[in-house]
Amino acid sequence: MTITPTVYLETYGCWLNQGDSEIMLALLEDIGFTKVKAPEQADLILVNTCAVRGETERKILRRLKALDAIRKPGSKLIVAGCLATYRPALIASTAPSASLLSTFSVEKVVEVTLTPGRLAVLDKGPRRYLRLPRFKGGRRCVVPIAVGCLGSCAYCVMPLSRGPLRSYPPSEVLRYVKEAVEAGAREVYLVAQDAAAYGRDIGYSLPNLLRDICKVEGEFMVRVGMMEPSTTLKVLQPLLEAFSDDKVYKFLHCPVQSGSDKVLELMNRRYNVDVFLSIVEAYRSSFPDGSLATDIMVGLPSEEEADFKQTCELLKRIEPDKVHIARFTPRPLTPAASMPHPPDWVKKERSRRLTLLVDELTLQRNRRWLGREVKVLVTGEVKEGSLMGRTYTYKPVVLPRQPGLAWRWVNASITEAHPYYLKATLL
């Protein structure tokens, strides 16, 4: 009787990390592994880590200790991903028996798994393995289109953990999308650290990729991931033209981080507030109802009260649909780690004030939809038996439950507006 080896997988962080996990899992399945839900049952425990925030780092370290304690005798623990690449000594001191695998070498997960004892594969970038796994089914298809970035922000660990930009070949991305759509996918997520930088290293571009993807036969919607302002500006006009396709969600995620030019320059963000505003104005001119998401980091080095107020004024001016708010935490080995920054109580207070402002602004933006009839793509269920869906602008809409509507477009009338979602009745 052949005993099938088992793997337990935990993933932290962004959609790009989710993609790396799927790649590693596919490679392990190719050699006979099956996935299990309980770590104590697994022959291999694989943890794909994130390094962006100190809070997440501490959570991962606690979890590694717990997993190391409960894993069965003879099993193997592999710590992969950004934290293993960025702070391998910290991982080794937390889980001394764990093998390490850097983000630049995900394809070596099989080698690390089959090698007896502990093995640390900490290759440096740029990443060489750029193959996407076979689509495994489902209605949502997450496609990594690039790893690394072109930036060098003073507070960010990504240059250390992900390295320089490497774009997936367009043929690989298109193959993956076609395969997924033929298998029933209705949403395609294009993910990267900076989607707007896609193709800069291979003589291609995100607008070209979008146009090619939209030519794929089938009924599906494309959501484009986060795009840095500095790279978005370089492709802005062709990008807006590509966004006009009916298959593309009118959703722009462009992180500004601060409304202060002084702070942006010190953080080496490579754009100023006027550049960001020009992007927003062009986008809103093309798609007045289009959703706009941005990111704000409060308490960055050199941020004073006047800088924070400039951030608040910027948000009032652009009326965002969604804002991701984070408090600055210094990360070792980054330039910002040695720069003076506001104390934690100031960061918490500014974060609280900003959250209240954002709730007010997003509610105000959502009220524009009251009484309107819209088409909604039903994407699943939420609590209390309601359905969740998305408009063509990627607005989340809660609908009354009705059988047989999953992943279908329905007509609905917006009846309630909340800061983070809309409510509607079916027509």
pLDDT digits (tens, 9 = 90+) for 215-233: 999 999 999 999 999 999 9
Length of the chain: 427
From residue 386, how far is each of 83, 399, 426 by CA, in Å? 38, 6, 12
pLDDT digits (tens, 9 = 90+) for 128-175: 777 787 788 899 999 999 999 999 999 998 888 888 999 999 999 999
> Per the domain annotation, does 246 fall within a domain?
yes
Question: Residues 375, 348: one domain?
Answer: no
Does the pLDDT of residue 1 top 50, yes or no?
Answer: no
DSSP single-letter state for residue 216: S
Question: Residues 338, 214: one domain?
Answer: yes
- Range of the structural domain that residue 407 is part of: 370-426
Q: Give the pLDDT band of residue 65 (cuts 50, 70, 90).
A: very high
CA gap 25, 330 in Å, rounded: 32
- Sheet-wide strand order for 221-224: 140-144, 187-191, 221-224
Q: What global pTM score does this model have?
A: 0.92
Q: Where on the phi/psi map is residue 269: left (φ > 0), alpha (ψ -120 to 50), or beta?
A: alpha
Residue 119 contacts residue 108 (beta carbons within 8 Å):
no
Q: Can you give the CATH number for the domain in which 415 is found?
A: 2.40.50.140
Final residue belonging to a domain, choices 367, 392, 411 = 367
pLDDT digits (tens, 9 = 90+) for 95-114: 999 999 999 888 899 999 99
Question: Residues 191, 246: one domain?
Answer: yes
The secondary structure element, H or E, covering residue 11 is strand 6-11
> Per the domain annotation, does 135 fall within a domain?
no
Q: Can you give the CATH number for the domain in which 335 is found?
A: 3.80.30.20
Does the pLDDT of residue 384 top 80, yes or no?
Answer: no
Per the model's pLDDT, the better-predicted residue between 213 and 382 turns out to be 213
Question: Residues 90, 232: one domain?
Answer: no
Q: Where on the phi/psi map is residue 229: left (φ > 0), alpha (ψ -120 to 50), or beta?
A: alpha
> Per the domain annotation, does 191 fall within a domain?
yes
> Per the domain annotation, does 12 fall within a domain?
yes
CA gap 159, 201 in Å, rounded: 16
Question: Residues 194, 108: one domain?
Answer: no
Question: Residues 361, 374: one domain?
Answer: no
CA gap 200, 7 in Å, rounded: 37
| Owner of token pair 């948000």 | 315
What is the β-pairing status of strands 387-390 and 373-381? antiparallel
Question: Residues 106, 204: one domain?
Answer: no
Grouping H, G, I as helix, E, B as strand and the rest as coil, residue 272 is coil
> Per the domain annotation, does 127 fall within a domain?
no
Number of independent structural domains in the chain: 3
Mean model confidence pLDDT for the chain: 94
Residue 336 contacts residue 300 (beta carbons within 8 Å):
yes
For the record, the structure tokens of 162 come out as 């992900």
